[in-house]
Chains A and B, each alone.
Chain A
Amino acid sequence: MLVLSRKKGQTINIGHNIKIMVIDIQKDQVRIGIEAPGDVDIHRSEIYLAIQKENLQALAKQDVIKSISGGCGPDQSGRMKK
């Protein structure tokens, strides 16, 4: 990991179009501003990791799908069958 020291108001550029600025520092908390193109998703890591994990766990098993669809789950083609 690259480690840089920055003061309040100073910035870091990543590539051509991502810019990170230290907005404010208060005790053990840092406020960070990020400028990035629209196709770059920015998330707090712990929330994003929790959502990744939850999505993977939520992948539905066939028997559960059958139980909620009253036995008319999707067949091989993804179409519904009675």
Chain B
Amino acid sequence: MTEAKNILTFKSGIPGLPEEFKEFKFIALQENSAFYLLQSVLDEEICFILVDPFIFFPGYEFKLPEEDRNKIELQDIKDVAVFCIVNASRGIKEATVNLCAPLVVNTAKRLARQIVLNDGGHNLRQPLPAAAAARGGTACAGVVQKERPDY
């Protein structure tokens, strides 16, 4: 069984969604998958695909601003996890990742927040390398991830 279910609380909500959408189920898609779902507890149709950015973009880094750190009540940096929202609205093969506004999670307190990086160095629509690699094959990211190409 590959089930993993947690509730994450976004006290400030998620930009673009109505304010009342604060609690989301965090669902691991498969064991060892880089992909997760973030599904509203209020409306299951409100669902994001998330990715662990460090798997596809090993050089990805940013400084977590102190105010954001405080807002997720992060005491110990070891408790932080980072995910990025995948935009697959143009199809999974054309999927992009929002590196400009990552989700930071305090795994100890289950508090999360979408932060906005203002350094100009991160792309709002960074093509997902696995999606590109999947072109020509069956576009199943779960499969692609097992035979991850070298970057």
Contact = CB atoms under 8 A, between A and B. Distances in A.
Given A51-B116, A65-B37, A58 B140 contact: no
A80 B143 CA distance: 18
B98 A60 contact: no
A29 interface: no
Contacts of A60: 37, 47-49, 86, 88
A64 interface: yes
Interface residues of B, number: 47
Interface SS of chain B: helix, strand, loop or mixed? loop
Contacts of A50: 124
Nearest to B67: A38
Chain A: interface size category = 20 to 34
A55 B49 CA distance: 11
A70 interface: yes
B116 A48 contact: yes
Interface stretch (B25-33, B54-62, B75-83, B104-112): B25-33
A47 interface: yes
Nearest to A50: B124
Given A51-B116, A57-B89, A64-B88, A69 B29 contact: yes
Interface of A: 38-39, 41, 43-44, 47-48, 50-62, 64-65, 67-70, 72, 74, 76, 78-80
Q: Which 4 A-B pairs have the closest CB atoms?
A: A52-B16, A55-B16, A58-B87, A52-B15
Interface of B: 1-3, 5, 12, 14-17, 25, 27-30, 35, 37, 39, 41, 44-49, 67, 70-71, 85-89, 91-92, 98, 100-101, 114, 116, 118, 124-125, 139-143
